Amino acid sequence: MKTAIEHKITKLITMREDVAKGEVFLITRLTSLKSIFETKAQVKDFASYITGKTLLSIGKTKPKYIDNWEQDNKLIKIAGTTVRKYLTNPRQASTAELRDVLYRLEKIQGWGKNPWWSGQLRIINNCYALILEDALRCILEKDIDGRRIYDMAAHYVMAFSNSFERDITKKSLPYLDDIIAYLRKNLKTNKTMTTRG
């Protein structure tokens, strides 16, 4: 009999197979990730994994829609290095350093006036920086926040598939595969990984 986690991973794999055949799903299909991680160590490990995959996937070519690519890319790499140092040996990088990098990443994005209601609307100028922001928040927050885990995974899948819509398409598959591969490996190597409800 399958565990709850195995069932969720099987559903992700089935969705992945359907996408490969041409179906399109809303990114909200990844919400099952909100309840897969039970310990903070698991969340930190997943955040580190997504950080590493993001840094590998960025490449050296400047995307058309990012104005300050060289400067942003440098900060994203600093963020990745700081995350790795902190998770490998917290004495090499403090939480204050992580918070400083998070603050600097947040400044890459912008704010604008919301046309539908009074208040500010966040404008995403660099989706790769957004992934690192999500990863840093997952690491820094004391409690497990399923929404942050989902956001990080969803932003990762959407950023590299060039889908500014909230869809999982064929272009998303390599990044969805990364998430599935992580979950399958973690399930095999960490028997204590169970759902929270």
**Inter-CA distances, 35 with 5, 42, 154, Å:** 9, 12, 15
193 vs 158, more confident: 158
Q: What is the pLDDT of residue 34?
A: 92
Tell me the two tokens of residue 130. Answer: 């957004």
pLDDT of residue 188: 56
DSSP H or E run through 7: helix 4-20
Locate all alpha helices (DSSP H) within 59-145, ordered by sequence. Answer: 69-88, 95-108, 127-140
DSSP 8-state symbol, 33: G
Task: State residue 164's pLDDT score.
Answer: 59
The set of long-range contacts for 69-78, using a CB threshold of 8 Å and a minimum separation of 24, is: 72/108, 72/125, 72/126, 72/128, 72/129, 73/128, 75/101, 75/104, 75/105, 75/108, 75/129, 76/105, 76/126, 76/128, 76/129, 76/132
Q: Average model confidence (pLDDT) for the chain?
A: 85
174-189 per-position pLDDT tens digit: 999 999 999 999 865 4
What are the tens digits of pLDDT across the range 25-82?
Answer: 999 999 999 989 888 999 999 999 999 999 988 865 566 666 788 888 899 999 999 9
**pTM of the entire structure?**
0.86
DSSP conformational letter for 62: P
Q: pLDDT: is 152 or 115 the higher one?
A: 152
The predicted pLDDT at position 61 comes to 58
